[in-house]
Amino acid sequence: MPEIAVYPGTFDPITNGHIDIIRRASGLFEKVIVLVIENREKSPLFSMDERVKFASFATKKFKGVVVDSYKGLLVEYAKIKEIKTIIRGLRAVSDFDYEFQLTQLNRKLYPAVETIFIMPGEEYFFLSSSSVKEIAAYGGNVSGFVPEIVAKGLSGIRTTKRGKGL
Ligand code: ADP
């Protein structure tokens, strides 16, 4: 059985839903790498450094969990590190189509890799980074949805130009 798995994502920003997946994964694997990916399509609100900082702070309590970042294809990272297990979170039905395509593509690019899906606790089924950013942009309270360090980071963006146009 593989002892190491990678949990990739944009994590813009990391939410309590992501953390629930990380907690569950850390109970299954000796080492879990939370991999912050650049994501050219989503033009993230937070920089790579900020996203890594938030993820590192929010996951430091979990044994065997480390945070890394990569500006390239996930499968390239996995090949270089010889990782054969990818973890993804699965929420409501809407995630399925995208995750299904991604899994097939990754399998084509790296046949040895397997994707494992973990469902979060039901309180996280409808939680997403984009909804959290939307709430924060309108001055709503996000403290129940994200770690404290992220809530602070989001309150900062409302007062800067980055808070506009979300
Ligand atoms: P990506 O751009 O790669 O989808 P995200 O940061 O949006 O990056 O998500 C990373 C992974 O975490 C995805 O598999 C996504 O479905 C999952 N995820 C996001 N939010 C939640 C949540 N609230 N509960 C469980 N899984 C989630």
Task: Find the catalytic residue in 18, 23, 53, 133.
Answer: 18
Measured in angstroms, how far is the CA atom of residue 12 from the centroid of ligand 1? 10
Q: How far apart are CA 49 and CA 6, in angstroms?
A: 19
Distance CA 132, CA 111 (A): 35
Which atom of ligand 1 lies at the shortest distance from residue 126's CA?
Answer: 23
Instruction: Give the mean model confidence (pLDDT) for residues 49-57.
Output: 98
- Res. 66 pLDDT band, cuts 50 70 90: very high
Section 72-87 average pLDDT: 97
**H, E, C per residue of 66-117:** EEEEECCCHHHHHHHHCCCEEEEECCCCHHHHHHHHHHHHHHHHCCCCEEEE
Query: Each residue of 110-164: pLDDT tens digit?
Result: 999 999 999 999 999 999 999 999 999 999 999 999 999 999 999 977 655 454 4
23 is catalytic: no
Mutate to test the pocket of ligand 1, among 12, 16, 18 (most ligand atoms within 8 A of CB): 18
128 is catalytic: no
CATH fold of 4-125 reads: Rossmann fold (3.40.50)
Q: Is the pLDDT of residue 166 over 60?
A: no
pLDDT digits (tens, 9 = 90+) for 5-42: 999 999 999 999 999 999 999 999 999 999 999 977 77
Residue 93: per-residue pLDDT: 81
Q: Are strands 31-37 and 114-118 parallel, antiparallel or unpaired?
A: unpaired
- Residue of minimum CA distance from atom 3 in ligand 1: 9
pLDDT exceeds cutoff 90 at 1 = no
State the average pLDDT over residues 95-120.
Answer: 96
